[in-house]
Structure 1
Amino acid sequence: MKEGPDIARVAALLGDPARANMLTALMGGRALTATELAQEAGVTPQTASSHLAKLEAGMIVTPRKQGRHRYFTLSGPDIVEALEVLMGIANRVGHNRVRTGPKDPELRHARVCYDHLAGDMGVALFEGLTKRNLIESDLNGVALTAAGITFAGEFGIDLDALRSKRRPLCRECLDWSARQSHLAGSFGAALLDRFYDLGWARRGVESRIVRFSREGERQFRDLVNF
């Protein structure tokens, strides 16, 4: 028997169509109930509970109880990154679902990937920060430069607070729709929160879509020289 991580077990948990729909719904970072996830998966509540029990046992999702309800979230940002990579592979090799309507272009333009910006705008952010020498990439991953540290403070982001978390400050995440990198990690999440605070963008109701105002998109483009 081969030693090491059992990727077959994880792949089996992610590969079921109903479970894949549930996990995709949770990529927006919101906690959802079993009933809500059943609707997302197109299955009965009883079937959804069975799927969620398997995902919980496999440590793919984490339950949270509040009052009479149990809510589920993804167990960590690495699950989101794995799902984004799988979505990118499916898109590249042509295993795509039929497009459902006008939301798809919006999802491709700007969406939340767990808690950071993805889509065309997310890729533009990564490229813009790189061109401005605010972040740099090497074999060890992505890191803020000295100029990036200065920028973060000027932009209203508390790096000391971010560093106190166990999560990496910067992390590269492969965007499924653009097939290029966007910025994950606590700094990527803080940037998106800052865009919300500044009124540049807002989160779509019950959706992963991020909608920038006209002025917000102009300010964003100035920020990344896009």
Structure 2
Amino acid sequence: MLKTSLPPDNHAGLEQAIAAVAAAMADASRVKMLCALMDGRAWTATELSAVADVAPSTASGHLARLVEGKLIACLAQGRHRYYRLAGHDVAVLVEQMMGLSWNRITPPETTAPKAMRDARTCYDHLAGAVAVQIYDDMQAEGWLEEDGSALTLYGREQFLQLGISLSAHSRRKACCACLDWSERRFHLGGEAGAALLIHLESKGWIQRVVGFREVVVTASGRSAVKKHFSR
């Protein structure tokens, strides 16, 4: 019998919880909504119904299921309601599911637009080919621990030189290797990844495309990436 560290009376509860999460995601329309929310913004029910290509009444049922499954949260502002992912852990789950699912299909050529494969948001950090390049260069230059689980002391110093300060007592994981579904390699997640995205945007090195996950890397941004990160 397979042994686990959980007490026997916790097994059933954990198994039911896993099944509930899986059931909440087990619909193509709900998956489309979750993928749309990976841009880190809050969306209205109307916007999400359009993304999922379902009627508003149908979208309401899907959204209720996702809220019940604690995958998304509903935010009320006056008469308006907005929906967003329930947290970073959900974003990580969705991104990992993308990577896992990509290996289950036959992709002679990806149908994902080149702009999305080049640069996009992954909830609150940068993803795509540009982000993978930055991650590879950070590893090569010794900014990251070998498994990407933390910044080295040198890496923290380099972040400070860029003008990015990270909290020493954050509850969130300081750094993590996030699997990029389109590149099949890692990009930078965690607090460091989120802080880097904010920095790139504040410098005008990237520009978000309103309503989409795509991110445009500006000419000055490509020069900056080459200057600060390229080996």
The corresponding residue for 1:203 is: 208
| Inter-partner Cα distance in structure 2 for 1:69 and 1:128 | 44
Please say if residues 120 and 213 of structure 2, whose CA atoms lie closer than 8 Å, have aligned partners that are also in contact.
yes
What residue ranges of structure 1 are gaps of 5+ in the alignment?
Answer: none
User: Which amino acid is the alignment partner of residue 68 of structure 1?
Assistant: R
- 1:75 matched to 2:80: no
Q: How does 1:1-226 map to 2 (within 5 A)?
A: 2-3=11-12, 4-5=14-15, 6-94=17-105, 104-138=113-147, 142-160=149-167, 163-225=168-230
* Root-mean-square deviation over aligned CA pairs: 1.9
SS in 1 for 2:164: coil
| Inter-partner Cα distance in structure 1 for 2:32 and 2:19 | 19
TM-score w.r.t. the length of structure 1 is 0.90
What residue ranges of structure 2 are gaps of 5+ in the alignment?
Answer: 1-8
CA shift digits 1:169-204 (9 cap, x unpaired): 111111100111111111101111111111111111
SS in 2 for 1:136: coil
| Inter-partner Cα distance in structure 2 for 1:83 and 1:149 | 28
| Inter-partner Cα distance in structure 1 for 2:128 and 2:119 | 5
TM-score w.r.t. the length of structure 2 is 0.88
SS in 2 for 1:86: helix
SS in 1 for 2:146: strand
Please say if residues 166 and 195 of structure 2, whose CA atoms lie closer than 8 Å, have aligned partners that are also in contact.
no
User: Which amino acid is the alignment partner of residue 27 of structure 2?
Assistant: D
Please say if residues 166 and 191 of structure 2, whose CA atoms lie closer than 8 Å, have aligned partners that are also in contact.
no
User: Which amino acid is the alignment partner of residue 213 of structure 2?
Assistant: R
